[in-house]
Amino acid sequence: MGVSMIKSGVCVKTGPGPGARWKPGKVGSKNSDLMSKRHASEALDEVQGVSTPASKRSRVDEYNKSTTATPSANGDDRNHNGNRVEDLEKHGDDLEDDENAVKEPIRQAAPTQGYDDLYLDTIDRNVLDFDFEKLCSVTLSNINVYACLVCGRYYQGRGPKSHAYFHALDEGHHVFINMETQKVYVLPEGYEVKSKSLDDIKFVSDPRYTRQEVMAIDRTPRTSWTLAGKPYVPGFVGMNNIKDNDYVNVIVQALSHVGPLRNFFLLEDLSKAPELVKRTSILFRKIWNPRAFKAHVSPHELLQEVSLRSNKRFTLTHQSDPVDFLSWYLNNLHLGLGGSKTKPHSSVVQHVFQGRVKVESQAITAKADVNDRLRFEEAAEVKVDISRFLFLTLDLPAAPLFQDELERNIIPQTPLTGILSKYNGVRAQEHLNHRKRYRLVHPLPPFLCFHVKRFSQNKFVSERNPTIVTFEPHDLDVSPYVEPDPNHHPSNEPIYYDLVANIVHEAVRAREDVVDAAEEKKTWKVQLRDKATDEWVVAQDLFVDKIRSELLYLGETYLQIWERRRTPGKGKGKA
């Protein structure tokens, strides 16, 4: 008997030969090995009595094993995890997509309750140094910079794709502070930490003072301690000499002890000022920080801005003249604070240092007489001009060329009042083809800067005058050098100034085996007066020590800052 399968049904041949015909077979008949044909109107579920598989696509073997159904107590089919099989099958596509998708990072708006101080024990205050320029250590960007409080490095941003975020994941350092807002965050969670235990770090990063604290600086002696237990006096701290920037260090140290200028930078909010003014303010506030972690500061951040603004005229790798830097620095601070180039006393810088001097100028003419001799005309016209100044230049007498009777070159000395006679209005000096006389004009500025001109240069060599300038740090009477004006000051009363800072030059030979003036290296140090104790301190880079007032003049004085005494009368009164 021949058998033929047609689609899903079974046909049976009724007999042999070509005359036989085909008829459908029946399931369960004597031909039980054959299946009957299903009518098109019948449902497959009704014919077979089983449910339709819910799976839409095949699963891998491991997934099939994990979803193998086991009978539960209530008759439901559940897998070994307790999940309903039909639920897993219903959401099978979603689960597969979730496995392939990248998980979003978990971000928190606030710390978990009870874990407010999480990771704060990992902060290392000994490695924190906020004096350096705020640049990301990866991108060198200064925008949105965060400092890691565990290792002290700077990174940009705190988002899921930022360098600070990856640093937190890679190194396990979780606490960061925003250098602009002083807010502390925990990464990678991203929430802000508001803990009083971080206030000391915020104060070191950006010190802020009240008016009462600033007013007490010059009145109350104070001593502070570093993290290592080393005592120091705020305002009299060392300053890093990165390479050859000691000429900047002494100027910044001296200006930070000029009372009105210091108080302005300590109290005013200069966050929106030009970068040079802002960085000067931060450095001044760190110099006077009574809660510092270390007994020194670094001018690196200020030096970077100075180098940029001066077109690399003043850098930290090449030494320059302190007076040249002072002139550039004061003028740029004046302009940065909104000062005018033409209007006098338009900023705190000019209020403190700017004064007036009367200059009488007379042309020098020479004519040959019958004996072929030169003579000066006494009837030449005299021109009078009033000029403004920020500091006064004092000329030293020429150094001796020959040795004394003991065959030694003695070091000459001259009193400060002797070189100040340049401004008495009587002594004339020749400059090019003019004879000039100088005299100060009322009102005098609160602070006078004197530049002792030691260096001169011709076409061949640069020369240094080693003459010592002797002076007393108190009771400098400048009334003989001022044009009398009863409207400002009685003519018979003295005008006393007291020394605030004295910048001293030192010549150090670069090599001991070479005896040549060209091999001398210039170094600078500054002597500062502590008004609270009336004691003197000498600071040279990181070295800070006390010095007796009787020994101040023994060095080669180069720049001095004197403060006018508020109460007239002779004596060592406080300004």
At 75 the pLDDT is 45
Residue 356's DSSP bridge partners are 388, 441
58: confidence class by pLDDT, cuts 50, 70, 90: very low
pLDDT > 70: percent of the chain: 72
Q: What residue type is assigned to position 500 of the chain? A: V
284 vs 368, residue with greater confidence: 284
User: Which of 424, 391, 330, 394 shows the shortest CA–CA distance to 562?
Assistant: 391
Least confident of 29-43, 95-109, 269-283, 336-350: 29-43
Structure-token match 């937190």, residue found: 168
User: Quick check: helix, strand or coil at residue 226?
Assistant: coil
Query: In this model, does residue 33 exceed pLDDT 60?
Result: no
Residue 9's DSSP bridge partners are 6
Structure-token match 């604070």, residue found: 337
At 371 the pLDDT is 52
User: Which of 487, 509, 482 shows the shortest CA–CA distance to 497?
Assistant: 482
User: What is the overall mean pLDDT for the chain?
Assistant: 80
Structure-token match 């009105």, residue found: 260
Report DSSP state, residue 158: -
Sign (positive/negative) of CA torsion 382, 386, 251, 277? Answer: negative
User: Which of 488, 479, 487, 483 shows the shortest CA–CA distance to 360?
Assistant: 483
Query: In this model, does residue 123 exceed pLDDT 80?
Result: yes
Report DSSP state, residue 107: -
Report DSSP state, residue 61: H
Least confident of 9-18, 277-286, 512-521: 9-18
Q: Distances in Å between the alpha carbon of 161 and those of 61, 165, 196?
A: 37, 7, 29
Question: Where is 105: in which H helix or E strand?
Answer: none
161: confidence class by pLDDT, cuts 50, 70, 90: confident
Phi-psi region of 268 (alpha: psi -120 to 50; beta: other; left: phi over 0): beta
Tokens at 461, concatenated: 């060599």
Average pLDDT over residues 309-337: 94
At 507 the pLDDT is 85
Tell me how many helices (H) and strands (E) the chain has.
14, 32
At 446 the pLDDT is 95
Tokens at 302, concatenated: 């200020």
> Domains (ranges, CATH) in the chain?
1-38 (no CATH), 120-204 (3.30.40.10), 220-264+277-334 (no CATH), 348-357+385-564 (3.90.70.10)
Tokens at 536, concatenated: 């003197």
Query: In this model, does residue 428 exceed pLDDT 90?
Result: no
Residue 435's DSSP bridge partners are 362, 430
Q: What is the CA radius of gyration of the chain?
A: 44
Contacting residues for 338 by C-beta, under 8 A, at least 6 apart: 346, 347
Query: In this model, does residue 38 exceed pLDDT 70?
Result: no
At 385 the pLDDT is 92
At 209 the pLDDT is 94
Structure-token match 């897998």, residue found: 79
Query: In this model, does residue 227 exceed pLDDT 70?
Result: yes
